Amino acid sequence: MKHLIITNGTVVADQVLEQGTVVTIGDRILLVAGKEEGERVVEAAIPGVFEIIDAQGGLIAPGLIDVHMHGCAGAELMDGTREALETMARFLAQNGTVGFLPSTVTASPEKTRLVCEVVAAYEDLADGAELIGIHLEGPYINEQYKGAQYGPAIRQADLEELEQLYGILGERLKLVTLAPEVPSGLEAVSWLKERGITVSIGHTNATYEEALAGFAQGITHVTHTYNGMRGLHHREPGVVGAVLATPGLYGELIADLIHVHPGAIKVLLRALGPERIVLVTDSVQATGLPDGEYVLGDHKIYVRDGAARLPEGSLAGSTLTLKQAVQNMIEKIGVDLVDAFRMASFNPAQTIGLKYRGWIREGYKADFVLLTPDFQVQKTIISGRVVYSAA
């Protein structure tokens, strides 16, 4: 494998470096340099040892990490096949995402176990995004805020079931969304936390006090903030109020400008700061495909004008890509380059406990996306290796 020198681009790192250069050795970042130092590195490069990649004045950005997505390109996790995961991984790499947690929807114990077995056995592709682990969204949620989750399969938290799933997945069980107010919910939070698994509050009718009890027990993450939870009222602040008032949480945001109003996005930015917002897609199998009829788990969904909904009109995931979410935050909300990419790369890595991942910094994993100034993906690089090239 050749080492890389990626040059002649705007490097999105701790600060923006115009006409910057990044050097990799193996799967790690060796050097992040400005214009003059980068030019010297290119001149001194040994042919045959380094491959020089010209970013052509575009962005050299950290590879994106999606910790909440259900499907894309006609496939979803609940298909329960290796082929579905491969389809998803290839599509994600083509759109600048280097790592992902495929997410379940609430399903029967048998179906949930099946998809966990498929994830546990999966091996990454040479031309696809890395499957980092799995996100269990449900089944321990509240019926009143189920959204597009399958109601008949909702159940109380079950430590025996969790033990079984953890036995299948091991370290690939990265994130679990639950409602802390459901029976045995707080016990499940403690059990998961003891094993280093990130616990998220979501699809929940918790009161302000019940949400705070969940945070005290070990919940550190919020599933699609604002969506699928008791909202803010001045006499009962609910889950949203508890999230806005509690420091140290990571809050997901679906920045498709459909799920959350731009004004509410700005409120979340003010409360959590760009250091704690995690951009996610919550994408469904229709992502990357035309409007039409699709499925999400056991539900039929309908996509019109890019919005995915249940027959009765409720939102059912999104058709968003993570690079579009970043672009929306920059162009529609006014977030700067560094903060926008941080929310889609470094913060997702941090919330699920990945070290030395998700950022362009010396010693970190060499994961990048090269974009044109108008956010078209030119190359996706994972562990110092080009896995997708538009040319």
Average pLDDT rounded to a whole number, residues 305-333: 96
Which pLDDT tens digit goes with each residue over 361-373? Answer: 999 999 999 999 9
Angle formed at CA 187 by CA 231 and CA 298, multiple of 5 degrees: 60
Locate 58 and state its tokens: 């575009």
Share of the chain above pLDDT 70, in %: 100
Nearest to 281 by CA among 322, 239, 335, 338: 322
Which pLDDT tens digit goes with each residue over 249-258? Answer: 999 999 999 9
Nearest to 72 by CA among 287, 281, 280, 321: 287
7 φ/ψ sector (left φ>0, alpha ψ -120 to 50, else beta) = beta
| 330 — pLDDT class (breaks 50, 70, 90) | very high
Nearest to 127 by CA among 99, 100, 94: 94
Q: Give the pLDDT confidence score for residue 2 in this predicted structure.
A: 87
Q: Cβ of 267: how many Cβ atoms within 10 Å?
A: 16
Locate 114 and state its tokens: 């099946």
Average pLDDT rounded to a whole number, residues 133-154: 96
Q: Give the pLDDT confidence score for residue 64 in this predicted structure.
A: 99
Q: Give the pLDDT confidence score for residue 326 in this predicted structure.
A: 98
Nearest to 184 by CA among 217, 222, 136, 153: 217
Whole-angstrom Cα distance, residue 102 to residue 112? 13
Q: Kindly report the CATH class assigned to 64-351.
A: alpha beta
The 3-state secondary structure of 163-207 reads HHHHHHHHHHEEEEEECCCCCCHHHHHHHHHHCCCEEEECCECCC
Q: Give the pLDDT confidence score for residue 47 in this predicted structure.
A: 86
| 308 — pLDDT class (breaks 50, 70, 90) | very high
CATH number of the domain located at residue range(s) 3-61+359-389 in this protein: 2.30.40.10
Report how far apart the first and last C-alpha atoms of the chain are (Å, whole number): 20
| 1 — pLDDT class (breaks 50, 70, 90) | confident
For CATH 2.30.40.10, list the domain ranges present in the chain.
Answer: 3-61+359-389
Which pLDDT tens digit goes with each residue over 185-225? Answer: 999 999 999 999 999 999 999 999 999 999 999 999 999 99
Helix, strand, coil shares of the chain, percent, nearest 5, are 30, 30, 40
Widest CA span in the chain = 68
> What does the radius of gyration of the chain's CA atoms come to, in whole angstroms?
20
Which pLDDT tens digit goes with each residue over 187-198? Answer: 999 999 999 999
Which pLDDT tens digit goes with each residue over 96-105? Answer: 999 999 999 9
Q: Give the pLDDT confidence score for residue 376 in this predicted structure.
A: 98
**Which residues make Cβ contacts (< 8 Å) with residue 235, sequence separation at least 6?**
none
- Given the residues 66, 256, 282, 367, select the one marked as catalytic: 282
pLDDT at 352 over 90: yes
Q: Give the pLDDT confidence score for residue 21 in this predicted structure.
A: 98
Active site residue 367: no
| 298 — pLDDT class (breaks 50, 70, 90) | confident
Which pLDDT tens digit goes with each residue over 12-55? Answer: 999 999 999 999 999 999 999 999 999 999 999 988 899 999 99
Q: Give the SS3 label for residue 134.
A: strand
Q: What are phi and psi of 257, to 5 degrees?
A: 65, 15
pLDDT at 391 over 90: no
| 92 — pLDDT class (breaks 50, 70, 90) | very high
Please confirm whether the linkage preceding 109 is cis (ω < 30° from 0).
no
For CATH 3.20.20.140, list the domain ranges present in the chain.
Answer: 64-351
User: To the nearest whole number, what is the mean pLDDT of the chain?
Assistant: 97
